[in-house]
Amino acid sequence: MKKNYIFKVTGLLIVFILSVFVVTAQQTGRIAGKVTDKKTGEALIGLTVKVEGANKGVSTDVEGRYNIGGLAAGRYTLTFSYVGYQTKRISDIAVRAGAVSVMDLVMDEAGGQQLQQVVITASARQESVGALYAQQKNSISISSGISAEQIRRSPDRNTSDVLRRVSGASIQENKFIVVRGLADRYNSAMLNNSTLPNTEPDKKAFSFDILPSNLIDKIVVNKSASADLPGDFSGGVVQISTKDFPDSKFLNLSLGTSYNTQSTFKDFIGPTNKNKALFGSYDKGRDLPSSFPSKSTYTNMPLDQQIQEARKFSNNWGPQKYTSIPSPILQLSYGDSKVLKNNSKFGAVLSLSYRYDERLQKGETNGYVGQSLNFEYSDNLYNYNTNIGALANFAYSWGTNKLALKNIYNKVVEQQFTSRSGVEIDSYVQNNFNYLLERSLVSSQLLGDHALGSKLKLDWNLNYASTKRAEPGFKRLTTQSSTDSPDGPYKLNVGLVGSPTVLGDFYSNLDENIYGGAANFTVPVSLFKQNSKLKFGYSGQYRDRNFGARVLGYTSGATGDVSFDTSLQTYPQDQLFNDENIRVGGFLLQDITNGTDHYDGSALLNAGYAMFDGFLSEKLRLGIGARFESYHQKLASTNNNNNPLNVDTIYNNILPSINLIFNASEKSSIRMSASRTVGRPEFREIAPFSFYDHKRNANVTGSPVLRQSSTNNFDLGYAVYPKAGEVISVSAFYKYFEDPIEQSLDFSSGRSFSYWNAPTANLYGVEFEVRKNLDFINEILKNLTFSANASYIDSRVEVSKVRINKDGERPLQGQSPYLINAGLQYNSSSKNPLGLSLLYNTFGRRIVAVGNINDIDLYEKPRNVLDFQISKKLSSGRSEIKLNYGDILNNKYIEYQDVNDNGKYDKGDNLNRSYTLGSTFTLGFSYNL
């Protein structure tokens, strides 16, 4: 209680200090931006920027950026000059007091000696248009992205929501990315060019919901490979970047709250001390007692000692009643840059975010073995979720060098209390599941950029990441009606052998550390009378994972002449495990941990690459290279007979890639790409550990014989850029998979999911994207922008007609046949603009788990997601208020088996799982101090 009081007082004090914090209005403004080569998109380092009519001038840094401060309000002209490039004179740049005017531009190479004296003059507006064209066209790989400005204008609060808007992408389970319809395991994630660790123990995936969107500078999803990208992907590589040098000083405070139509102010059931989650903690009474002995020691103890050990556990089984509260949301961000002696610069960006949410998930869970219905449940899942995120980025640049230290911390606490009732093999049952998950991510990176000479460039990074995941005290209790009536009475059906389902307690801990480093060296070369570059690099990564679980079950204490006290079967749940009930004739605790309930894994990756990137002619650009990756994976566990079970594999792969770009005009380009990539098994996918997923009422087990998959990728695309910020593009792609890794199901031997390698798969797809201002219809619509992207994908996996599928083929697991994103955004041009956005997302049905000849494939039904947001700037843009209406349609999430094989969910199909989450209203206010 005292700790909670301190937290509350501290929070109120911070808000009070910020509310009275006064920043002296700046009387001067700044001009800042980035200068790049028009053809290649490369940053121009050491370029001279001068202000006409003033004794001010700077040089661009190692990223091609410049920042000129101390400018009185007015309009200015800048001159940009660089050896070998045509000088540019940009006029009519407006500067306001206390604000930053961003002026990005591109430079043209000089065609000859006489052209070096030519000065090209353009207005700020004209040059901004040209710079944006170049940025959209210069990526060597086929990619889609979203900027910080687009994120700011959307209603998205975390990175998984943002990724829904990216062309060809969708999100599974509100946190895992699907690119081009391919499941999460076929995608990789990078933060500031360092590979992110997996956050899930049961799959190869990064949970993007743990990264708040306000920490993000930009996101790029690379859909084709190049030699300088990791080779472990077939769908996409998600590159997330965070800022280090802000253009100007800022201190932003955002406060908000949300109301859910299905949850807020409703009666809830939950664990004891659920309010600890408000501060990112939980009741430590859930933990396994620190002095509790190992399984072998406990099993060999005399019975009276076992009873004493069992009484050490907290009696926290009883559910408590609550009323759900509106969700508090807090974000605080600070950034500043200081110009030091000799034009060196120091910058810092700090951010703290906090979100707490209480959400009721109402649904049903059914279980089929073949066409026989084994159980049928109605579920209420009461969720209590806390997300705390922090970012601390620091950077220092001098001359043509830059060092940056980038750090991210995130902690998520998810509490779930499930109330389940229904029929199980002709018996009426009621289940209570008390589950808690605590997971955290720490990522720290030291990065360096150095220009050596005029154009030689070296960039490097050292990185460390740590993920921790704990499941303390996952409690399961099952009661059965003693009559043939759903009204009961219900009693515990506890037996002489412990069962984690009937009356069980589960504990697990996962710790993973990743150590990595990389270096990339860029060398300019001149071929075919064009400026090109050679790029070489190395990256290494070592992963170390430790996982352990304890599974405990309570039994009836009938021994010898002492019978079980049957009155305990109907005891109130909060009194069930009082000390006096842990005894002979009462309850005894049995350790039923298996040998497979722990594993240790390690993986060493060494990769090197070489590539050429340059122009073969004025309009034809070639990127070609190869990457060599050596991956050594080890896993040590035991089987249920405690015999060693070891996996030790080495994969050596040469991964070539080629990208060809033909710039047909200033506003259009044609792209072609071919590459080979791989998909490696994750620790969890090869570990024999079996975990009970209470949401699906099924076990998830790894397969130690799983093999690496490989993919041949081919892309062809055409894009037109009509105006600044606009694009119309279409692309086609083909992928051939060898040994694709999929999740499979087997309900005949106890409801379970596992993993396997399908023999081969073929995938064909087309993508279309448009982002267009509607002023071409009428000038009155100039503030309206329409955006949409759609993908159609067809995949075929050949399988056994005897064991798997009577047709001998099916779609690839996790692959959606179509993806659609659409949006309409309005932003007024007033001093305090009004913003409106309407965003839509959907996907085609996809296989959740591959079936067999008896248990047919399990599908996820398409959902339509519609979001609306209205925002209004206030106080000359210093503050903003936002109202968001999220998931307006509130479509059900449905998993089903398509019994009638007609491609949709309808009468006669087997419903396995369904739920709704309600629609959410979010109100937020932000202020720039």
- 275-282 mean pLDDT: 82
pLDDT of residue 131: 52
How sure is the predictor about 19, in pLDDT bands with cuts at 50, 70 and 90? very low
Look at residue 22 in the predicted model and tell me its pLDDT: 38
How far is Cα 698 from Cα 702, in angstroms, rounded to an integer? 13
Fold equal for 2-137 and 309-928: no
Query: Mean per-residue pLDDT for 845-852?
Result: 85
Q: What integer is the mean pLDDT of 603-628?
A: 93
Rounded to an integer, what distance in angstroms lies between the CA atom of residue 870 and that of residue 874? Answer: 13
452-456, 595-599, 894-898: which range is least confident on average? 452-456
Average pLDDT estimate for 45-51: 90
Tell me the C-alpha distance between 630 and 229, whole Å.
15
Structural contact between residues 140 and 669, judged by C-beta atoms closer than 8 angstroms: no
Q: pLDDT tens digits, residue range 115-139?
A: 445 666 665 554 544 454 455 566 7
Distance, in Å, from the CA atom of 273 to the CA atom of 34, rounded to the nearest integer, reads 52
Cα separation values, 656 from 274, 524, 653, Å:
53, 22, 10
pLDDT digits (tens, 9 = 90+) for 676-723: 999 898 888 888 887 777 667 778 888 889 999 999 999 999 988 887
- Cβ partners under 8 Å of residue 707, min gap 6: 681, 739, 757
| DSSP symbol at 109 | B
In the numeric block, the tokens 């072609």 are attached to 672
List the one residue out of 606, 438, 444, 596 whose CA is nearest residue 513. Answer: 444
Return phi, psi of residue 302, to 5°: -60, 155
The C-alpha atoms of residue 747 and residue 696 are separated, in whole angstroms, by: 12
Instruction: Inform me whether the pLDDT recorded for 579 exceeds 50.
Output: yes
What is d(CA 907, CA 929) in angstroms, rounded to the nearest whole number?
58
Residue 869 has pLDDT above 90, yes or no: no
Write out pLDDT tens, residues 297-350.
999 999 999 999 999 998 888 888 999 999 999 988 888 888 888 778 899 988
Q: How many CB atoms lie within 10 A of CB 94?
A: 13
Mean pLDDT along residues 555-579: 89
> In this model, does residue 534 exceed pLDDT 60?
yes
CB 627 within 8 A of CB 539: no
Buried b (16+ CB within 10 A) or exposed e, 202-217: bbbbbbbbbbbbbbbe
Q: Which of 186, 180, 196 is nearest to 240 (CA)?
A: 196
Instruction: Using DSSP, state whether 558 is helix, strand or coil.
Output: coil
Three-state helix/strand/coil letters over 26-94: CCCEEEEEEEEECCCCCECCCCEEEECCCCEEEECCCCCEEEEEEECCEEEEEEEECCCECEEEEEEEE
User: Which residues, at least 6 apart from 671, have a Cβ–Cβ distance to it below 8 Å?
Assistant: 142, 659, 660, 661, 662, 715, 716, 717, 718, 719, 731
CATH number of 309-928: 2.40.170.20
Buried b (16+ CB within 10 A) or exposed e, 329-361: bbbbbbbebeeeeeeebebbbbbbbbbbbbbbb
Question: What is the pTM for the complete model shown?
Answer: 0.84
Strand order in the sheet with 187-191: 143-147, 218-222, 236-241, 187-191, 194-195
Q: What is the maximum alpha-carbon separation in the chain?
A: 109
pLDDT of res. 136: 55
Give pLDDT, residue 7: 44
Q: How far is CA 7 from the centre of its chain?
A: 29
pLDDT surpasses 80 at 210: no
Residues in CB range of 466: below 8 A, 6 or more apart: 197, 440, 441, 442, 511, 512, 513, 514
Which residues, listed in sequence order, are joined to residue 700 by a DSSP beta bridge? 691, 753
Q: Which among 364, 362, 549, 577 is positioned nearest to 474, based on CA atoms?
A: 549
Q: Give the pairing type, strands 698-701 and 752-757.
A: parallel
Strands (E), 557-643: 587-591, 598-615, 620-638
Q: Tokens 């209005």: give the residue.
A: 25
Q: Quick one: average pLDDT of 3-22?
A: 43
Counting every residue written for the chain, the total comes to: 929
CA 11 to centroid of chain Cα atoms: 29
pLDDT at 474 (0 to 100): 92
- CB count within 10 Å of CB 561 equals 7
Domain 2-137: give its CATH architecture: Sandwich (2.60)
How large is the average pLDDT for residues 826-841? 85
Is 601 a residue whose pLDDT tops 60?
Answer: yes
pLDDT tens for each residue of 370-401: 888 888 999 999 999 998 988 899 999 998 89
**Look-up of token digits 């950029």:** 449
Residue 528 tokens, joined:
């075919």
3-state secondary structure 782-827: CCEEEEEEEEEEEEEEECCCCCCCCCCEECCCCCCCEEEEEEEEEE
Asked if the model's pLDDT at residue 590 lies above 90, the reply is yes
Q: Is the pLDDT of residue 232 over 80?
A: yes
* Tokens describing residue 311: 């009484």
> Domain limits of the chain?
2-137, 309-928
Confidence check: pLDDT of 163 > 80 = no
What φ, ψ does residue 425 adopt, rounded to 5°?
Answer: 50, 55
- Percent of the chain clearing pLDDT 70 (strictly above): 86
Lowest-pLDDT range of 102-111, 441-450, 786-795:
102-111
Amino acid of residue 3:
K
Q: What is the mean pLDDT of the chain?
A: 84
State the Cα–Cα distance between residues 624 and 341, nearest whole angstrom: 42
Handedness of CA 288, 289, 293, 298 (dihedral sign): negative
Q: Which two tokens stand for residue 41?
A: 């998109």
pLDDT at 372: 85
**Among 417-421, 452-456, 666-670, 884-888, whose mean pLDDT is lowest?**
452-456
Poorest-pLDDT segment among 135-149, 339-353, 594-608: 135-149
Instruction: Please give the Cα distance from 147 to 163 (Å, whole number).
Output: 11
272-286, 668-682, 903-917: lowest mean pLDDT where?
A: 272-286
726-748 per-position pLDDT tens digit: 788 899 999 999 998 888 876 55
Q: Which residues contact 86 (CB under 8 A, 6 or more apart)?
A: 107, 108, 109, 110, 115, 116, 118, 119, 120
Among 146-155, 445-454, 539-548, name the most confident range. Answer: 539-548
